[in-house]
Structures are given as C-alpha cells and as structure tokens.
Amino acid sequence: MAALVTYFQLFSILHIVFFLTVPTRSVVMASPPAVKGAYSSDPTTFPPSAVDTSLFTHIYYAFLMPTYVTYKFDISSSTALELSNFTTTLRQKNPPPATLFSIGGGGSDSNLFSRMASKPTSRKAFITSAMEVARKFNFDGMDLDWEYPSTPKDMKNLARLFKEWRRAIDIEAKATSRAPLLLTAAVYFSVDFFLDAVYRKFPVRSINQNLDWVNVMCYDYHGGWNTSFTGAPAALYDSKSNVSTSYGLGSWIEAGADRTKLVMGLPLYGRTWQLKDPNFHEIGSAAVAVGPGDAGVLTFVEVEEFNKKNGAVIIHDMDSVSTYSYAGTTWVGYDDDITATLKIGFAQALGIRGYFFWALGSDSQWKISRQASRAWILGE
C-alpha cells in the first residue's frame, strides 16, 4: 500500500491546481440542491433494501426498454414486481431518495431509439407510455440512456423528443396537481463525438430548456477494446489527448450547457490489462491482452480483493488524477476513494450540479460513496 501522501495533502494539491487551470466561480451563489446519484443495475443481487440512502439523493433503476414495434413499454409481471418493490422499498428508507427508471443502456439497440425519435407519432407513443410506467410504479422521474445518437439527424430528433417530453410532463403535472416527473438523460463524456467519423453534437439548447440535468458518462476512456496499451479509464486530465473528464465537462460548458444541468459520472469499477513487460507499469505502458474480470472489468470490491490477495502496488497518479495498481503482469486502472474525492473537488470548482455512480453494489463498504458524499458537503 502506497499511502505516502495523505488525502488532505492531495486535496490541497488539487485545489492549487484548480486555481491555476480552472476558471472558478463562486459556489456559494444560490443553486438547486446537489445531485448525488447512482444507477442500480442489478436489483436482484443488490436489492434496494441494501442501499445506504444517506449517501444518495437519486437512485436509478437500470434498465427498461420499449418494444420494437409500438415503442411502448410492455412490462412483464416479474418486472412489475421488481419495479414496485424498488420504489416501495426505497421510499420507506430514511431518508427516502428520489427514484427514476432509466431507459436503454449501453447494451441496448440504438436504432430503435433512432426510429422512435424520427416521427411525431412514435415519439408520442413512447413518451405517453414512459409516463404511465413512471406513475404506475411510483417513480419520481425518467432517464433516457440512448447510447448513442449516431447522426446529426438523430441529435435533431433528440432535441424534439426532449421538448415534447417536457411539454407532456408539464401538462400531466398540471392536470393531476402532482409534482412534475423528473426528466434526465445519460450522455457522452464530451458534448460532441469528436473521435468518430460521423461528427455530431448533443442539442445543448434543448437540454437546457427541457431536462432537469444530464448524467455525463465520464468513464470508459480506455479499456479492453484496445489491448495494446494500459490507460486510465476515467482520467480527469490527459496531457496527450482530449479524452478526459476535464476536457469533456469543459466541452459541455463551452457549448453553453447550464452548469446546474451537468452531473459528473464516476465509475465504481476498474479496467484491467496484462502488461507486455512487468517492469513497465506506468499509465500508457505496452500491454498484450485484457487482465482479470469479464472483458477486463472488475468492480471496485474486486479490485480491492485483487490488490490485497496479490500484494499489488497501488499508485495515486496526480497527473491524470486516477488510481492504478499492478502485481506481476496484471495492471488495473480505476478510482478509489482518494481519486474519486479529488474529482468531486474538481466538479464543485466547476460549479456543476453533482455526481453519479455506475453502479450501486460495486462499491466496497460504501467507501467511495461515503467519501464523495462528505467531500461535496465540505466544499459547500
């Protein structure tokens, strides 16, 4: 264990870095309450009853999908039980977090969303059905995780979808005298897909006007899809490329996104590689394959187990603001409580709304979630 520098020393170092590099603004001005979110990807193995709700303001059920033909939600009886259980259980907790269900996800069919968003009739069917699900199962809101709109036309249609969705929410809230449903979306780390052959950019105006906030997925920068080199999967800074959280969040702000509508994603998992030569173990060292874990992914719990079992060397890299560990030829890039907390400081200095985790149940005894929650309060 390389606890050479204490958490508080690191925190001071990063604060100095902020003054040099980040256009800060006052964080004492009146702003909407902070978002401390988390997605629940597996309510069966990690039930809602196990959530320490003192650490989160919003819990997302992941995921539901509309059907191919009608774009409506067809909820099976077992899913219906799970949804009821999810919202009922969380609502009974102290404090009760807000609940949302998320639509889509990384493994879902992007073309389905593209088709749905392309026509007013299918957008309407989708929106109406999503709102019915939300009310029927007592959710406080809905989240769209379309990964990803793939053309400029998709982005235009996404803007229309958000606008019509917001209008439907307002109308329903007025008609029923209930609090309007929340509407959020999970989005790419950068406002535009600058790495792809087909350039497209998220509809920032529509997002500002119609969404409560967006969950910016500030992770998966490097992983098992490129086994040639190790990389920090969620680097805050990268001196050699724009694939970093500081660049990504900066791109959203530069494009005009309202800071109170931006929520920074934090991964509760690491990505692994097999080093080509165990003597070269920096970030960016040559690798030959993925390391342990399904497709080279280990939850934070599993990373800690790996480190302990193998006596891994743990490094807090202050250039990237990320953590990595290595033992023999195995290399793991991740965030622990120290680097996650430093990123929280960065997010607060930017004046954004909050942070969220992917995913609940991967933390080790709430270690990262608790430090993050404390850090956000400390800065306010």
Catalytic residue positions, numbered: 147
The least CB distance from residue 146 to ligand NAG, in Å, is 24
The distance of closest approach from Cβ of residue 64 to ligand NAG in the complex, given in angstroms and rounded to an integer, is 18
Chain residues that interact with ligand NAG, rule: CB under 6 A: 47, 85, 88-89, 226, 228-229, 241-242
What burial class does residue 335 get, using C-beta atoms within 10 Å of its C-beta: 0-12 exposed, 13-18 middle, 19+ buried?
buried
Q: How far is the CB of 240 from ligand NAG (least distance, A)?
A: 6
Buried b (16+ CB within 10 A) or exposed e, 296-324: bbbbbbbbbebbeeeebebbbbbebbbbb
Nearer to ligand NAG, 228 or 365 (CB): 228
Judged by DSSP in three states, 91 sits in: helix
Provide the pairing of β-strand 297-299 with 269-275: antiparallel
Smallest CA-to-CA distance from 301 within 361, 358, 364, 360 is with 364
Cα 206 to chain centroid distance, Å, stands at 20
- Which C-beta is closer to ligand NAG: that of 127 or that of 234? 234
> Closest CB to ligand NAG among 242 and 310?
242
Dist. CA 140–CA 368, nearest whole Å? 26
Give the whole-angstrom CA distance, residue 86 versus residue 256.
Answer: 36
Taking alpha carbons only, the member of 139, 37, 36, 131 closest to residue 82 is: 139
CB of 24 to ligand NAG, least distance (A): 20
CA angle at 147 for the pair 73 and 48, rounded to the nearest 5°:
60
The residue (of 67 and 88) whose beta carbon lies closer to ligand NAG is: 88
91 phi and psi, to 5 degrees? -65, -25
Minimum distance from residue 359 beta carbon to ligand NAG (Å): 17
Nearer to ligand NAG, 110 or 242 (CB): 242
